[in-house]
Structure 1
Amino acid sequence: MHVQGSADRNERSASIVNIASTFGLMGYPGSSPYAATKAGLVGLTRQMAIDYSPKAIRVNAVAPGIDRHPVDRRTY
């Protein structure tokens, strides 16, 4: 990923927000490919935060969990 530009005191700061998942933080039955992808995104987010912090660019991830809706009972 390439981020162009920088944020200094005269400019607004920048941020990148990735959409991860709780599946990337802990395992769930039958979700290996999805969980592996989201775990990779969590690692990428951490590394990008380290790489871009000198340029005042914040990098974070949000990790929504399972919505316990009656239609999805087989998931949980």
Structure 2
Amino acid sequence: MLNSSDPIAAALSLWAGVGLVVAAAFLLYGFDKVDPGAHDAYAVRPLLIPGLVLLWPLVIWRWLSLVRGGR
């Protein structure tokens, strides 16, 4: 169990929690938009979860820039 007085553990838990939400949303809705060639690559998607959790701010930034029409 996490000690509530440990700010580093709390920050890491928050980072991982947000990362899991972003990873789930990205894999369900955004993966096909970012890489159209991976449309039916369902076996690869679970392998991306650790990287998505770690790098979720970059994933959001890239996903939003592609949605807005940038490259």
Task: Decide: shared fold, TM above 0.5.
Answer: no
Structure showing the higher helix proportion among its residues? 2
- TM-score interval, smaller chain: 0.3 to 0.5
Q: Which of the pair has more CA radius of gyration?
A: 1
Structure showing the higher strand proportion among its residues? 1
